[in-house]
Amino acid sequence: MTLVDTHCHLDDPKFDHDREQALERALAAGVTRLMAIGTGNGPPDLEAAIRLAERYPAMYATIGVHPHDASEATGDTFARLRDLAAHPKVLAFGEIGLDYHYDFSPRDVQRAVFERQLALAAEARKPIVIHTREAWEDTLAGVTSLPYGGIMHCFTGDAAQARQALDRGFHLSFGGVLTFPKAEALREAARIAPDDRILVETDCPYLAPVPHRGKRNEPAFVVETARRLAEVRGTTPENIAQLTTRNFEALCLR
């Protein structure tokens, strides 16, 4: 059984003391490929994930400006993103989107930076990785087309929202929240998603799945989420591994 962790922040300082070991534990658990999210500490550093991907064969990278950091983006940032998109290990733009929970950047700035990056992704023919929090309607409204596909990262919506995202062409990526006792509405969403539109992720170091909940999350733990997803969908973890791996390849490695 091999799995892909489609969303991890291994550049986070929480991995400074054991990054290599965390990666080894992932490989030992069958997590053979990882997509490192490149939003880092925000611009001007846009290469947080690329540095990791250049160092570790199992790792791929995304590039982008997180909605939290939208107000730091400049013309230079977008020019640099356009260049970095040509890097052979850059698979997607992300995580990009809108976060009205924290509102770390003004909403109009978030929307403008989101729109700009959607255009860059389309130009580079890359899928997008969406971060959306308390901004569902505006996020969907902002994505007027999805020519190269996209991922709703750490999807935590209900079945109705899942249908909306699926109708728009998105893949749904499930993380540790799927294993939380109270997440019944999310599990219903996970039940109705078609086989060819599901992915798994950790979003580590955040949101560790049960039984690691509350601890630092790491890529090896994506196995727990895959197991739970299998239970919810009435299938085997092997089947989930196969499907989600195939979906990652079709979306990001084409």
Applying CB under 5 A, the residues found at the interface with Zn ion are 95, 131, 203
Does residue 190 contact residue 169 with C-beta atoms inside 8 Å? no
**Shortest gap between Cβ of 235 and Zn ion (angstroms)?**
27
**Shortest gap between Cβ of 218 and Zn ion (angstroms)?**
14
**Shortest gap between Cβ of 116 and Zn ion (angstroms)?**
19
Q: By C-beta, is 69 or 203 nearer to Zn ion? A: 203
**Shortest gap between Cβ of 173 and Zn ion (angstroms)?**
10
Q: By C-beta, is 132 or 247 nearer to Zn ion? A: 132
**Shortest gap between Cβ of 134 and Zn ion (angstroms)?**
13
- Give me the residue whose beta carbon is nearest to Zn ion: 131
Q: By C-beta, is 6 or 245 nearer to Zn ion? A: 6
The structure tokens listed for 178 are 């799927």
**Shortest gap between Cβ of 97 and Zn ion (angstroms)?**
8
Q: By C-beta, is 126 or 131 nearer to Zn ion? A: 131
Sheet holding 59-63, edge to edge: 3-8, 31-36, 59-63, 90-99, 128-133, 150-152, 170-174, 198-200
Distances (CA, A) of 194 to 56, 120, 200, 203: 32, 29, 14, 22
Query: Under 8 Å CB-to-CB from 200, ≥6 apart: which residues?
Result: 3, 4, 5, 6, 173, 174, 175, 222, 225, 226, 229, 240, 244
Q: By C-beta, is 47 or 95 nearer to Zn ion? A: 95
Q: Dihedrals φ, ψ of 182, to 5°?
A: -85, 0
Q: By C-beta, is 53 or 237 nearer to Zn ion? A: 53
Q: In whole angstroms, give the CA distance from residue 196 to residue 130.
A: 18
- Strands 31-36, 59-63: parallel, antiparallel or unpaired by DSSP? parallel
Does residue 151 contact residue 251 with C-beta atoms inside 8 Å? yes
Q: Dihedrals φ, ψ of 75, to 5°?
A: -55, -40
